[in-house]
Structure 1
Amino acid sequence: MNNQAQNLYLKTQVNTAHPGELTLMLFNGCIKFIKQAGECIQQKNYEGKNNNIKRAIDIIDELMITLKMEYEISQNLFSLYQFMKDRLIKANIKLEVENIQLVLEMMTELRDTWVQALKEVKSGNTQVTV
């Protein structure tokens, strides 16, 4: 029953979130799965590593398809996301914690930048379109 309540809460949170908040949820989820993949590599839990990397890549794919490609920043982000996916695939195949760490740092920086952009938009100082 507790799991059902949690799932209902998450579904409600997603359904009522502002688009910028949804993107933030994607960043946070991706970071969570990347961290878990790194922990799984260290614990030699290869199934867990694979599942978490696949989930992180699924989120990156979602971030990629939501970009508005008429903007230069979106084109740059697309390339960055593709690079991250490539690093995660390599980490998955070769058990490279370095690539996990690299993508984690990059995704965390993107998330932090997104948080700052959301604050700017909410304060009325700027408009963000990606």
Structure 2
Amino acid sequence: MFGSRQTGVNAYAKVGMETGVVAASPHKLIVMLFDGAVVALNQALLSMRGNDIEAKGKSISKAIMIIDSGLRASLDKKAGGEIAEGLDSLYEYMSARLLTANLKNDTGIVEEVRRLLTELRDAWNAIGDTPAATGKHPLPTTLASA
């Protein structure tokens, strides 16, 4: 009559995620994309080790979609210049590597792409801690003491 407990938990998690997306800054949304891709790759690795070919394919496809339709699509090549061009090439490389990993069932390639995404996420998080990236600027000491 009321559904399973797991259904309720899943619905609650979905609402929490949707609320997080709506309230997130553009910087946080990129972090969420990195996190989503890493989670998908972690799931792909578990599926590969468990010989679950269908789940592996779905997880790798999800990671590729996040990389191509999320991270890569969000690049502003005009404003970002060489950095954006370099990231575009890196994202293209990651997607191609994941296709190869899926075809060859190669966990090493998945781990390589996961490492690259994690390093980029960590760098992105470090940028987010700066006042310029957050839009928060400390008050000058003369105003803070007034």
Q: TM-score, normalised on structure 1?
A: 0.91
Of residues 31, 35, 56, the one that matches 2:42 is 35
Of residues 91, 94, 101, the one that matches 1:81 is 91
Residue equivalent to 1:101: 111
Q: Give the distance between the partners of 2:82 and 2:20, measured in 1 at CA.
A: 31
- Partner of 1:91, secondary structure, is helix
Q: 1:20: how far off?
A: 0.2
Q: 1:65: how far off?
A: 0.8
Residue equivalent to 2:15: 8
- Partner of 1:67, secondary structure, is coil
1:85-127, Cα deviation, whole Å (9 max, x unpaired): 01100000110111001101101100000010101223659xx
State whether structure 2 residue 35 is matched by structure 1 residue 25. Answer: no
1:51-77, Cα deviation, whole Å (9 max, x unpaired): 100100010011111100112111100
Q: Give the distance between the partners of 2:111 and 2:11, measured in 1 at CA.
A: 33
Residue equivalent to 1:118: 128
Residue equivalent to 1:128: none
Superposition CA RMSD, Å: 1.4
Q: Give the distance between the partners of 1:124 and 1:73, measured in 2 at CA.
A: 25
Between the two proteins, the alignment pairs up a number of residues equal to 125
State whether structure 2 residue 69 is matched by structure 1 residue 59. Answer: no
Q: 1:2: how far off?
A: 2.5
Q: Give the distance between the partners of 1:14 and 1:112, measured in 2 at CA.
A: 19
4+ runs of 1 displaced by more than 4 Å? none
- Partner of 2:129, secondary structure, is helix
Query: What stretches of structure 1 of length at least 5 have no aligned partner?
Result: 126-130
State whether structure 2 residue 56 is matched by structure 1 residue 49. Answer: yes
1:15-64, Cα deviation, whole Å (9 max, x unpaired): 11000000000000100111111111111011110010010001001111
